[in-house]
Structure 1
């Protein structure tokens, strides 16, 4: 990540998968490997509570003001790899947690689709 307004960790994870797949596709095109060793796609997004609202993909200002922030990493088939969250200044309840997880899953699904289109991957 050369420049960012928050979310560098999640952007790095999401972008690294695209770079890896680009390299794998190149290796396969040169017959340097026979098959794709990557088992699944990976994408990540931040989500948090700012002024009591659940927000997706927090920018720096939102992250700095967040009552709660989380980083969620998932596979392309809706499996969690990591859920990392912190109540910065406040606590949060299970309804808020569920809302953040649902919003993150929707965001990751959109990112995964963009990754697939970019890499021209068909399932």
Structure 2
């Protein structure tokens, strides 16, 4: 059954990744999943957290700009709220899964992910675009050998009884099952976040959702590689 936007159940929204969207960060990317847009920027700082004992670290930060949704949201001036902190931890865990931290020098690479427009899937877009920004930053600083793999993320869910890929807000807010999948290009899973918002779901439905997500990530890996290999802007 076609969805409200005309896509098939296993079809991504239109996805694009534009690189070098900011002048100063070592790597930056503007990722679009339909009407969701997230600006990702990877910056390099000397020194890592003390618990790293002079070995490198990769982390992420996440924020939604006040105008990203149809009603203005307040800035988190006193630090990230609970939802933002949860997403920051997810971004950091995901990116660290494909970096050999012990081969980095005593540096911190921070990937900032700022949501410009939110229409569902902002955290998965942040991970997907964040990897591109991080990969370009590591290449620029000569740390590319510490990048051990590729990672992307996508949402899946059950809407009107049908498993579907890459949910916009219109589907996400009424989904019976809502799930975010983070996967590596060699077929491993880094994170599976799934919740039954309505009726509980079965093992066969979980397997179908995982298959949808992995296939979607395969498409994202191709788009990511093209973005990472794009010629730097003049």
* TM beyond 0.5: yes
Partner of 1:54: 163
> Which residues in structure 2 correspond to 1:45-84 (within 5 Å)?
45-84=154-193
* Deviation readout 1:25-76 (Å, 9 max, x if unpaired): 2223xxxx4x421111110000000000111110011000100010000111
TM-score, normalisation: structure 2: 0.48
Taking the aligned partners of 2:170 and 2:160, their CA distance within structure 1 comes to 12
Please identify which structure carries the higher helix content.
Answer: 1
Root mean square deviation of aligned Cα = 1.3
TM-score, normalisation: structure 1: 0.89
2:131 pairs with 1:22: no
Aligned length: 116
Taking the aligned partners of 1:106 and 1:65, their CA distance within structure 2 comes to 23
Partner of 1:102: 211
Structure 1: stretches of 5+ with no match in the other structure: none
Taking the aligned partners of 1:19 and 1:119, their CA distance within structure 2 comes to 8
Secondary structure at the residue paired with 1:70? strand
* Deviation readout 1:91-112 (Å, 9 max, x if unpaired): 1111111110000000001001
